[in-house]
A = this chain, B = another copy of it.
Amino acid sequence: MYGAIEAGGTKFVCAVGNEAFEVLDRIAFPTTTPEETLTQVFEFFDRYELKAIGIGSFGPIDINRDSPTYGYIKNTPKLAWANFDLLGAVKQRYGVPVGWNTDVNIAALSEAAKGAGEGMRNVLYLTVGTGIGGGAVIGGRMLEGFGHPEMGHIKVRKHPDDPFAGTCPYHGDCLEGLAAGPSIDARVKKKGYELGQDHEVWDYLAHYLAQALYNYSMVLRPEVIVLGGGVMKSPVLLSKVKGILLELIAGYIDIPSIDRYLVPPKLGDDVGVIGGFLLAKMELDGER
């Protein structure tokens, strides 16, 4: 049996699965302090014999195996977790191989293996919610450079009618600053789901997200882009993004039809834990 931990900034999900990556048991609880949260993680997993575990974590995290802080959560506004050795704590408890990557990279892994990108070797996963994060499987492997991607922080052109300065504490008006959920709140003092589908904010967000997807497409050349996160649930947003992205590409690169290129996630709530099982198996098999 495999264990999976989806370590999110607001909640943790733990699950155990079989060789077919089917979920046999799962539990979710709020993310509080490392001590409290890990006590709950251990209570859940202590009841099982696990062969390996996979962790998909909120970031930024250290995924460089040669680094002395490999397995640590790095600087994060959630101060109790900053510089916490999450991988080490889990490894020490269970003494089995533990895979470690970002929540969005294992979402890409999961959708590539069993979801919207099934059978494809080049899958980009982007979540647009409280923040914007991207992960990818390229050439059949998770995208990892010297560190993990920080795709949400790229620069995009401002929409000429959007005066908003952005919410990113590091970059102001980077993509995340201009197009994540809190940018809607900051502009109009409403949540996205409270806005009419004809509100101009959707034009701004579509303008930024389409540019970002265009840039990712030119750099990574995915076969499919899976768009998750609460903000993407607006029906008008996806449709606007598709139109602008097609204009930007202008026929320059081959993509599938736009409705097969930009798709919603297929694995729903299981995307993280299935990704965790897959990562656990990769770590067990020594695949990197």
Name the residue in A146, A149, A155, A170 with the highest tally of chain B Cβ atoms < 10 Å from its Cβ.
Answer: A146
Residues on B with beta carbons closer than 8 Å to the beta carbon of A122:
145-146
Q: How far is the CA of A123 from the CA of B154 in the complex (A)?
A: 19
Is A139 among interface residues, defined by CB-CB distance under 8 A?
A: yes
Contact status A222-B171, CB under 8 Å:
no
Is A150 among interface residues, defined by CB-CB distance under 8 A?
A: yes
Is A260 among interface residues, defined by CB-CB distance under 8 A?
A: no
Tally A residues with Cβ within 8 Å of B.
Answer: 39
Interface membership of chain A positions 244-288, coded 1 if the CB is closer than 8 angstroms to chain B and 0 otherwise: 000010111110000000000000000000000000000000000
Contact status B252-A150, CB under 8 Å:
yes
Is A50 among interface residues, defined by CB-CB distance under 8 A?
A: no
Contact status A145-B150, CB under 8 Å:
no
Residues on B with beta carbons closer than 8 Å to the beta carbon of A248:
155, 171
| Nearest CB of chain B from residue A192's CB, rounded to whole Å | 24
Contact status B215-A254, CB under 8 Å:
no
Q: A87-122: which have CB < 8 Å to B?
A: 122
The 10 closest A-B pairs by CB, nearest first: A145-B221, A122-B145, A146-B223, A154-B215, A150-B218, A170-B252, A147-B221, A122-B146, A146-B221, A154-B218
Q: A211-252: which have CB < 8 Å to B?
A: 211, 214-216, 218-223, 248, 250-252
| Nearest CB of chain B from residue A231's CB, rounded to whole Å | 19
- A contact set with B: CB distance below 8 Å: 60, 122, 134, 138-139, 141, 143-151, 153-158, 170-171, 211, 214-216, 218-223, 248, 250-254
A selection of 10 A-B contacts at a CB cut-off of 8 Å is A134-B219, A138-B143, A138-B144, A149-B218, A149-B219, A149-B221, A155-B156, A155-B211, A155-B214, A215-B219
Q: How far is the CA of A74 from the CA of B124 in the complex (A)?
A: 25
Residues on B with beta carbons closer than 8 Å to the beta carbon of A223:
145-146
Least CB separation from A214: chain B residue: B155
Least CB separation from A223: chain B residue: B146
Least CB separation from A122: chain B residue: B145
| Nearest CB of chain B from residue A190's CB, rounded to whole Å | 28
Contact status A250-B149, CB under 8 Å:
no
Least CB separation from A74: chain B residue: B254
| Nearest CB of chain B from residue A85's CB, rounded to whole Å | 18
Contact status B220-A145, CB under 8 Å:
yes
Contact status B214-A250, CB under 8 Å:
no
Residues on B with beta carbons closer than 8 Å to the beta carbon of A138:
138, 143-145
Known: A122-B146, A139-B141, A145-B122. A216 touches B219 (CB 8 A): yes
Q: How far is the CA of A139 from the CA of B64 in the complex (A)?
A: 11
Least CB separation from A120: chain B residue: B146
